[in-house]
Amino acid sequence: MALTYTLLGLIVVLIGLPFQIALQSPYVLIGLSIIFVLLALSMFGLFTLQLPSSLQTKLTQFSQQQKSGAFFGVFAMGAIAGLVASPCTSAPLSGALLYVAQSGDFVIGALTLYLLALGMGLPLILITVFGNRILPKSGAWMENVKTAFGFVMLALPIFLISRIIPSIWEPRLWALLGVSFFIWLATQMRSNGIGLFFRILFFIAAIVSAQPLQNWVWQDNTATSQTANTQSAVKNSLVFQQISNYDELQTVLKQHPNKIAMLDLYADWCVACKEFEHKTFVDPQVQMALKDLLLLRVDMTNNSESNRTLMKALAVTGLPTIVFFNKQGEEIQSQRITGFLPANEFIATLNAAKSANY
């Protein structure tokens, strides 16, 4: 089972890597969000996801033909079990596959599916070793666990759709999910003893989670104004020159022979890019360290032909990517940044790039 799921993760990443940017289209993000919502609804019991019965029958027959006493037979049975497992795993598996397709990372792809399979197989190992003594009795708790995972599944559409909706709506969606989840938890608690304590606790958590919704109802835009002011401060402090293609990049570098240049490849849908924007670039020490650099930026949001040409020329495989150029216009390859860095690590890399220039 672990091998089956790990291979599935690697295959999805291999197929999805060349299309990682294309998958960030608003239409694709909306479509994936709808899929995750449907998967969550399946966890809530509205419908069931499973392989066609004919395919399940064939796989089961093949599994039964394997010799249970032989190592290869046991291995084959376990691998096939990953495909004919309970329909209850279809939604989490589908969600994990869609997630790793979005990530485009081989390690994340393999590790995510491996851990999913390990979590599914661990109870079987424990039952084999300890027998029925540790096997919990079936009951309503199984449906409750399934419903809880449905709420977890609903977090993924918010994560995806937050890339294309106004930022003010993201906390409202998280608040709505949090309120719903905690109210559901409260209704599952008993009305006496320790159950009553947890019921009150979950209701309090629901009230706290509802704060963004309360701000929305009462039109409290203080937080929004603070966010806008922060973003404005960043833009005023760090002025990036927009680059549209590779030829323009080379021209600009030649026009500034006495400056170290930093090229930021950015996209509106890139979550880590936004982390750079709102966490790293707002740091006063980072802004001070960047004041003498030529700051360049390429907007990769639309994934245009010129964007793809520039990515190919610079051998960029994903976002965010930050490239430093020395005073001769040559890339300082040892200091290329791929992925988010907090302020202190970014400054260390920046200082190393400055030192490498001389």
Structural domains of the chain, count: 3
The verdict on 43 and 156 lying in the same domain is yes
350: β partners: none
Same domain, 128 and 158: yes
- Provide CB contacts within 8 A for 35, sequence distance 6+: 94, 98
Specify the residue for token string 């392989």: 51
Same domain? For 33 and 152 the reply is: yes
Same domain, 340 and 239: yes
Please say whether the beta carbons of 116 and 96 come within 8 A: yes
User: Quick one: 192 and 234 in the same domain?
Assistant: no
Predicted local distance difference test score (pLDDT) of residue 254: 94
Is there a single domain that holds both residue 71 and residue 174? Answer: no
**Where among 199, 220, 241 does a domain terminate?**
220
Q: 118-125 contacts: CB < 8 A, separation 24 or more?
A: 118/2, 120/1, 120/85, 120/89, 121/1, 121/2, 121/78
Per-residue confidence (pLDDT) for residue 233, from 0 to 100? 47
Q: Could you read off the pLDDT of 107-146 as tens digits, one per residue?
A: 666 777 777 777 766 766 776 666 666 666 666 777 888 8
More confident residue, 332 or 10: 332
- pLDDT for 283 equals 92
Q: Give the domain extent around 212.
A: 167-220
**In this predicted model, which residue has the larger pLDDT, 346 or 223?**
346
Q: Are residues 184 and 331 in the same domain?
A: no
DSSP 8-state class, residue 35: H
User: Mapping DSSP to helix (H, G, I), strand (E, B) and coil, where does residue 322 land?
Assistant: strand
Instruction: Give 254's contacts (C-beta < 8 A, 6+ positions apart).
Output: 329
Answer yes or no: do 28 and 144 share one domain: yes
Whole-model pTM? 0.56
Domain harbouring 322, CATH code? 3.40.30.10
Evaluate whether 85 touches 120 at the Cβ level (below 8 Å). yes
Task: Please check whether residues 115 and 40 belong to one and the same domain.
Answer: yes
Q: Which residue has the higher pLDDT, 320 or 318?
A: 320
CA triple 41-116-318, angle to 5 deg? 90
Sign of CA dihedral 240, 246, 251, 254: positive
Calpha distance 36→17 (Å, rounded): 21
99 vs 35: CA distance, rounded Å: 12
Distance CA 194, CA 284 (A): 49
Q: Among 17, 18, 2, 14, which residue's Cα sits nearest to residue 111? A: 2
* Distance from C-alpha of 257 to C-alpha of 354, rounded to nearest angstrom: 14
Q: Is the pLDDT score of 345 beyond 90?
A: yes
Q: Nearest-CA neighbor of 339 among 103, 95, 26, 6?
A: 103
Report whether pLDDT(230) > 80: no
CB atoms within 10 A of CB 82: 23
Looking at the fold, whether 10 and 155 belong to one and the same domain comes out as yes
158/269 same-domain check: no
Q: Which tens digits make up the pLDDT trace of 238-295?
A: 899 999 999 999 999 999 988 999 999 988 777 778 889 888 999 999 999 999 999 9
